[in-house]
Structure 1
Amino acid sequence: MEQRALRKLVDPISKTVKSFKKSEVECLIRLFYNLLERPVGKLTTKGMDQNTFRGVLHNIFGMTDDMLMNRVFFVFDKDSDNYVSVQEWVKGLSVFLRGAFEEKMKFCFEVYYLHGECYISREKIFDMLKNSLSQQSPEEENDEGVKELVDISLKKMDYDNDGKISFADFEKAVKKDRLLLEVFGPCLPDAKTCLHFETLVFKNNPPASF
């Protein structure tokens, strides 16, 4: 019964996600249901809710920043129904783990602008930098210092000088200096974490829990 349910999920997902082999897609689907403590194919909800997903980002991928974890959730949740479905899970992880540089760039940009217009406004830059700095050293949080960093960021990345960062601006800046990919906060796992995840999930087929 479980194999039939798996096949029904694996085949259509494999057609849309090319960076994973079918066997790997199967492992990711099994992990999804393991994390939700449900038999494969049986869900009482539409998928993984925000709290469970944040637990995955924290426990599996080592993320600690609340604001960024929420933003990553909303980028995974393509249909904006407040759940990450099994299809969204596999597609999101394909970028997380094996995305080409261009895919990761689009992902980070989406995390940073998050809803609304497709650009990163001065206000959003301020919020993200203030949040990022307060994570590192809460006692040194200083609005004036953050404003200076916003100005520096815009000077470096706002190529058309319109006071905001469009995707074209972001792409140009990041291609020039790849360190700017996660300039407003870490929203992708590092290579070591990705390798650890893949080793556990794809070679252990997958573990019952982390």
Structure 2
Amino acid sequence: TCSTLLGLCAPPDTSDSELELSMVRHQPEGLEQLQAQTKFTKMELQSLYRGFKNECPSGLVDEDTFKLIYAQFFPQGDATTYAHFLFNAFDADGNGAICFEDFVVGLSILLRGTVQEKLKWAFNLYDINKDGYITKEEMLAIMKSIYDMMGRHTYPLLREDAPLEHVERFFQKMDRNQDGVVTIDEFLETCQKDENIMSSMQLFENVI
């Protein structure tokens, strides 16, 4: 999975040269520190960085560029809204740009993280306004954006109200105390106990 984002940084080779930190205006953190922060090896980080640098010589990816990348991978639908949400999830410090550190730390979680780490990252994606809670409206916005991105003709049997039905079913399970919002604890507990939700989370992984 995560082939879309990996396409952004497909390495031209896998030689074991040092990171060419002086080649970009925005320099990533030291190699050792990134190794400690992620679950990538030194060689993997070097390859990822070379690919990232080739695609983004400035060392930064802004939201417009991110949307263009997603549009190329999902030409059958409209990826604009989902790319917006995903960009905000990767932009950890909220400064409007994804640097190599943001990218590789998020990628490490999605590719090699534990179930809990992946679910926490997913919670952050669904928590659009970053207030620590997921509302039904936020979950619906994410779900609609995924359906839009995949394209109507990709799933011709889906009705227009399919995203809403999907969200209603999930939200009822997740909002365990019925207070109208889903907390991180409710999200983690429900997802890990419900096989249907966990299998549906694979859709999330497939569009990363």
The residue type paired with residue 69 of structure 1 is A
2:31 alignment partner, one of 10, 34, 38:
10
1:51 alignment partner, one of 39, 60, 64:
64
Aligned in 2, Cα 1:98/1:178: closer, same or farther, shift over 3 Å?
farther
In 2: Cα distance, 1:108 partner to 1:9 partner = 27
- Other-structure match for 1:99: 113
In 1: Cα distance, 2:146 partner to 2:41 partner = 36
Unmatched segments (≥5 aa) in structure 2: 1-17
Aligned pair count reads 181
Q: Is the 8 A contact 2:71 2:80 kept in 1?
A: no
Which stretch shows the higher mean deviation, 90-99 or 59-68?
A: 59-68
Aligned in 2, Cα 1:74/1:184: closer, same or farther, shift over 3 Å?
same
- Other-structure match for 1:31: 51
In 2: Cα distance, 1:4 partner to 1:126 partner = 41
4+ aligned runs moved over 6 Å, structure 1: 60-64
Aligned in 2, Cα 1:136/1:180: closer, same or farther, shift over 3 Å?
farther
The residue type paired with residue 12 of structure 1 is Q
- TM-score, structure 2 length as denominator? 0.70
Which stretch shows the higher mean deviation, 87-96 or 127-136?
A: 127-136
Which stretch shows the higher mean deviation, 123-132 or 70-79?
A: 123-132
Q: Is the 8 A contact 1:108 1:182 kept in 2?
A: no
In 2: Cα distance, 1:182 partner to 1:67 partner = 23
- TM-score, structure 1 length as denominator? 0.69
In 2: Cα distance, 1:72 partner to 1:181 partner = 19
In 1: Cα distance, 2:147 partner to 2:138 partner = 14
Q: Deviations over 1:120-167 (max 9, x none)?
A: 11222333344445555489424xx66554432222221111112111
**How far is the alpha carbon of 1:115 from its aligned partner?**
2.4
Residue 37 (structure 2) pairs with residue 20 (structure 1): no
Q: Deviations over 1:82-106 (max 9, x none)?
A: 1101111111111122121111101
Unmatched segments (≥5 aa) in structure 1: 194-210
Q: Is the 8 A contact 1:112 1:184 kept in 2?
A: no
